[in-house]
Amino acid sequence: MDQPARDATQDYVAWFRNSSPYINAHRGRTFVVMISGEAVQEPGFHHIIHDLALLNSLGIRLILVHGARPQISARLSAQNIYTRFERHTRITDAAALEAALDAVGAVRLRIEGLFSMGLANSPMHNASIQVVSGNFVIAKPVGVRDGFDYQHTGEVRRVQVDAIRRQLDDGNIVLLSPIGCSPTGELFNMNSEEVASTTAIAMKADKIIYLGEDTGVVDADGRLVREISPQEAGQLLAREIIQNPTTERQLTAACHAASNGVARAHLVNFREDGALLRELFTRDGCGTLVTRENYENVRGAYIEDVGGILELIEPLEAAGALVRRSRERLEAEIKRFTITERDGMVIGCAALYPFNDGQSGEIACVAVHPDYRNADRGRKLLEHLEKRARSQGIHTLYVLSTLTAHWFQEQGFAPIPVDELPGERKSLYNYQRNSKVFRKQL
């Protein structure tokens, strides 16, 4: 039997290992995924369904919201029905509502059908996923605005949070459509992007992901914007830089979600095979992230960060740059660590070990992930530790280093003989490792 090339196998193993922190980070979280009507029409749409099924098997609580705009338009034009748009919103008259019900029903059933696939040679073999649709979104009429009666066009009045939560608790995927029912029993055609953002806010979702036609948001110079705050995105929208109307609607809704408690709103291209998985399971993803949060911050470490720190330092230990630390030791010493966190991932760390004299301490385990070096992160970690040291009354810092002598010198540390280490540390000095010793007065 042919063996796969060794490199390919190793790539796969490395990829699988690298994704494990994300798998842990995402498990038990609630994600709302908005699937545009355009995505449903794509020939590769079943791949997106397979990826969503995978997310469900990894323990992510999924609420899907589908659109049906092109499908509704196709039905209307087949019947020669003209509908008017006001402020990017379709005015749904009785004929248009019939077309919308027809299109939405067809799209919803198509999605349910794809989730039921279980052929032995498909990624969904043995998956047995329950998709639950229903009257989870209560609608109200948009009404008459600026003299225009929007008729059967509606907006979200309320999301049945508890009912959705019960389905998610049972491991089901909840599928929402852009048709909502009112307490009077009428049906309303709604904006699917708004259904998604309102649901994400009501459910206190951890993420909302819009699968759209663009790779993400592109700035005035044509460059992909990897991360943007709702304020900055608002400026792009106001300057009419976003060309694609679907992307514009998605970005508007993403900003609304991000400004109302949804920590992360992603825009991802459905045409890129695997884009959803790349966005969720790789360090830098491939779309645009709208977030109010400081995407990267330096903070004290918690016990939950142990896995991420180990992930970061193990290759450096293997290369001899850092002294080996076991998981048990790290767990016991976690309070001494400061980390740089980026979108939930540990990309830098450093530790401060106070000596018994209460006035001096040792800086150790300073590391920044190779992909993120030379951007001042090491210096900021050190600054954070120095501040921490001062607050504990420590005014002399020592560091032992084999490979990073010059870097520490540039941070204000001066070389000293081993003999000048405080007694308790000198007795533990490893002469075989032969580290250089540095000191800095704060």
Ligand X SMILES: CC(C)(COP(=O)(O)OP(=O)(O)OC[C@H]1O[C@@H](n2cnc3c(N)ncnc32)[C@H](O)[C@@H]1OP(=O)(O)O)[C@@H](O)C(=O)NCCC(=O)NCCS
Contact footprint for ligand X (CB under 6 A): 316, 321-322, 364, 366-368, 373-379, 401, 403-404, 406-407
The residue (of 68 and 368) whose beta carbon lies closer to ligand X is 368
**CB 303 to ligand X: min, Å:** 22
Residue whose CB is less far from ligand X, 254 or 351? 351
Closer by beta carbon to ligand X, 335 or else 373: 373
**Residue 209 vs 350, nearer CB to ligand X:** 350
Q: Which is nearer to ligand X, 14 or 403 (CB)?
A: 403
Shortest Cβ distance from residue 276 to ligand X (Å)?
A: 30
- The residue sitting closest to ligand X, measured at its beta carbon, is 378
CB of 25 vs ligand X, minimal distance in Å: 22
In this complex, which beta carbon is closest to ligand X, that of residue 69 or of residue 425? 425
How far apart CA 172 and CA 130 sit, in angstroms, is: 5
Report in angstroms how near the CB of residue 346 gets to ligand X at its nearest.
Answer: 12
Lookup result for tokens 């970061």:
312
Residue number with CB closer to ligand X (202 or 381):
381
- The minimum distance between CB 279 and ligand X, in angstroms, equals 25
Nearer to ligand X (CB atom), residue 371 or residue 419: 371
The distance of closest approach from Cβ of residue 438 to ligand X in the complex, given in angstroms and rounded to an integer, is 10
Nearer to ligand X, 32 or 363 (CB): 363
Query: Nearest-CA neighbor of 360 among 410, 395, 404?
Result: 395
Q: How far is the CB of 365 from ligand X (least distance, A)?
A: 6
- Residue 339, by phi and psi: left (phi above 0), alpha (psi -120 to 50) or beta? beta
Residue 140 CB-half CA count within 13 A: 6
